[in-house]
Amino acid sequence: MQDKPSQPDDDRLQVDSKERASGSDIVVDEADLPSRAMATHESIRQEGEKELEREPLALFWSGVAAGLSMGASFLARGLFTRYLEGIPGHFLLENLGYSFGFMIVILARQQLFTENTVTAVLPVMQLPTRSNILLLLRLWGVVLAGNLIGTVVVAFTFSVMPGFDAPTQEAFLTSGLEIMHKSPGEMLASAMLAGWIIATMVWMLPAAGSAKIVVIILMTWLMALSHTAHIVVGSVEILYLAMRDVIPWHDFFWPFALPTLAGNILGGTFIFALLSHVQIRNDRAAIPAKHPRGKEPWRFKKPRR
């Protein structure tokens, strides 16, 4: 029986993986892997392991920062709606404001539920041990709690801030009211679509290079145009409605938060991450193995026919 790898001196939790058990690192260089898809997969899995191993307090405050940053999407879309009204194509332009918060969060490396939490699913799918599953649940809980606290602060700030005129305040209400017109089933379906789009964006970013901003704008703009439900951005909008006494507080939890959270997890985490993992399963038949002496370059074991 193999001895378990020793824990670090500070008892920091570590992700279980075959590489760690063998004392090696995840291979992310495309030249050393069977396909580009596998290189992308392994790069995202490496990022996922780092997220799973971060300290809870660091995750929490990064999650709060992301929740606050999502206020930029709420603000930009509201202002665009207010000042672009009557202009041809205003629907396309006002929904572009939705991308602002996502650009801040992703480029600032803040923790956003459905974005960073998607990367963390791949290490669990690679090796679904009890320890890895608990680390994933810890990440989800801490990040989501931080995100929601940030959205509460943002929604409260905008609801009491005296600097916006009545038409602007009405514009702030518009996006939230559009969401609340959905039934719980429609909320679930649109949230699944949002989770899938976010996960697709995550898959694209490692190869985007200097075009990362373009990818973020296009994918999140698509989310806005599709009227999808996102648990963090939507929380700012729905909490603003509740704080302005437009809807009762219990409407935040149902029909919005619970179906939206479930849909985001299903669409982003399970559907996309599972498909991403399955598509490189055959590539894993060509397992990279070093020469016993450890001096030769990587070679691959080809699958038997």
Please choose, from the candidates 101, 59, 110, 143, the residue with its C-alpha nearest in 3D space to the C-alpha of residue 233. Answer: 101
Angle, vertex CA 158, rays to CA 152 and CA 161, nearest 5:
130
Q: Please say whether the beta carbons of 276 and 41 come within 8 A.
A: yes
Task: Tell me, yes or no, whether 147 lies in a domain.
Answer: yes
Question: How confident is the model at residue 28, as a pLDDT?
Answer: 59
27 C-beta neighbours (distance < 10 Å), count: 17
| DSSP label at residue 244 | T
Question: How confident is the model at residue 44, as a pLDDT?
Answer: 80
Q: Distance between CA 63 and CA 4 in Å, rounded?
A: 32
Please choose, from the candidates 199, 194, 186, 172, the residue with its C-alpha nearest in 3D space to the C-alpha of residue 256. Answer: 186
Task: Tell me, yes or no, whether 19 lies in a domain.
Answer: no
Task: Tell me, yes or no, whether 186 lies in a domain.
Answer: yes
User: Tokens 């964006």 correspond to what residue?
Assistant: 201
Q: Which residues pair with 300 in a beta bridge?
A: 288
Domains in the chain: how many in total?
A: 1
92 C-beta neighbours (distance < 10 Å), count: 12
- H or E element, residue 219: helix 212-225
Task: Tell me, yes or no, whether 13 lies in a domain.
Answer: no
What are the average pLDDT values for consecutive 10-residue runs of the chain, which has 305 residues? 44 68 63 65 80 90 96 93 86 91 93 85 83 91 96 93 84 89 93 91 84 94 92 94 93 94 87 71 55 40 46
Task: Tell me, yes or no, whether 141 lies in a domain.
Answer: yes
CA-to-CA separations, 283 to 34, 108, 276, 304, in angstroms, rounded: 6, 33, 12, 13
Question: How confident is the model at residue 302, as a pLDDT?
Answer: 45
Q: Which domain holds residue 80?
A: 32-284
Task: Tell me, yes or no, whether 6 lies in a domain.
Answer: no
Specify the long-range contacts of residues 270-273, CB closer than 8 Å, at least 24 apart: 270/121, 271/192, 271/195, 271/196, 272/118, 272/195, 272/196, 272/199, 272/200, 272/203, 273/118, 273/121, 273/122, 273/125, 273/199
Q: Distance between CA 199 and CA 122 in Å, rounded?
A: 12
Q: Which residues pair with 299 in a beta bridge?
A: 289
Task: Tell me, yes or no, whether 14 lies in a domain.
Answer: no
Task: Tell me, yes or no, whether 228 lies in a domain.
Answer: yes
User: Residue 87, by phi and psi: left (phi above 0), alpha (psi -120 to 50) or beta?
Assistant: beta
Return the CATH number at 165: 1.20.1080.10
